[in-house]
Chain A
């Protein structure tokens, strides 16, 4: 495997951790998932097509491992650590208490979504993939990406406490 492959993978790790955090709802589970995905990627480096998007390839590995893990353990929802929901950003992203509350609500609402919707929302709204890229990553039609996004937002938006006009 080339050094470039390894370097590209290293550079992706922060975003992979963010995606896995969104998917699992839990920092530790997310990091365990990223670690397993990196191991798998290094083992299967020969399968990666140079010139294609490594981020999509890695998101796909993470998502597949997560689904496998969920099947094996028959879990019914992400293991949300309450302390994690409250304070996991340790004030880095949120300067005001109400802002922190908002982010905690967002994590809880994300965790309450069905698995397939959470993956699509994480890829599009957080990782910034296009609908087509998200569809290719998850191996589903673009129309399915859109319908899952639509249902995810239908469930998520009312829980975020938006639509209250500008608060300053």
Chain B
């Protein structure tokens, strides 16, 4: 890391933090092309922001602790809004393209093994609205924009109650793919999707795995159910990634560099 030249570190930081106008940001991008040291600093800033977001992200994927829930609970005379466990059975929704349908038995087996969880598994097509859905994304859609430009680990602006974050970027035989996780806290539903970029630069959601979280784990181990459920999802996407010849997830630096040069190899 050497000191930036004409461009101050504050300005480069403002670029990374999204604090510049589009015109100012464009000027920084032009500058970076000719100043590798500044580019390296920008890469570090992106990587540091992503590392910070991930280092403290654990609360986002956990149930709210009972003590905080108790503070926020409705007064006793009002009906409790908490859903009952019976009302939200576990589910995995797998609207696979037909070419991948043959992988289903293996997936079902994997989920069963991940259990102790009593996750019911069944197919629903099409996927319910407001969730991630298989299909192309337009470049100007929020998710399409995020996939093109946002580092992994940085939450997207919340839309319709869903908390969405890109988990990783992986090179595959047919181009870059990214894992996306979207949590609907109210519905206790978590979607894990694989989105891949085609040669025209458009992102397409290839696979969506969805699970409904168990409503209440035992107070002694409030996170057990969730971790296991997520583990099952990651396992499933791995199978799909293997099929695409995916490599290891890119480091934050490599990912930031790839995004900065517009996904050009």
A39 CB within 8 Å of chain B: yes
- Interface SS majority for chain B: helix
B11 to chain A, nearest CB (A): 10
In the bound complex, CA of A107 to CA of B51 (Å): 9
- Across the interface, do A11 and B161 meet the contact criterion of CB distance under 8 Å? yes
Interchain Cβ contacts within 8 Å, total number: 155
Q: What are the 4 closest A-B residue pairs judged by CB atoms, nearest first? A: A17-B59, A166-B254, A106-B55, A22-B56
Interface residue ranges, B against A (CB under 8 Å):
1, 9-10, 13-14, 17-19, 40, 43-45, 47-49, 51-62, 64-65, 67-68, 71-72, 74, 153-155, 157, 161, 163, 185, 223, 227, 230, 234, 247-251, 253-254, 257
Task: Tell me how far the C-beta of B105 lies from the nearest C-beta in chain A, rounded to whole angstroms.
Answer: 25
Which of A46-54, A69-77, A149-157 touches B?
A149-157
Known: A92-B227, A166-B257, A168-B247. A128 touches B154 (CB 8 A): yes
A146 lies within 8 A of B14 (CB): yes
- On whether the beta carbons of B1 and A125 are closer than 8 Å, the reply is no
Give, as a whole number of angstroms, the nearest-CB distance from B237 to chain A.
11
Q: Is the CB of B48 within 8 A of A90?
A: no
Interface residues on A, range: 35 or more
Q: List 17 A-B contacts (CB under 8 A).
A: A9-B72, A13-B64, A35-B65, A88-B58, A89-B54, A90-B227, A106-B55, A107-B55, A110-B55, A126-B52, A128-B154, A128-B155, A150-B13, A156-B48, A157-B1, A162-B47, A165-B253
Bound-complex Cα distance A37 to B12 (A): 34
A39-71 vs B, CB cutoff 8 Å, 1 = contact: the mask equals 100100000000000000000000000000000
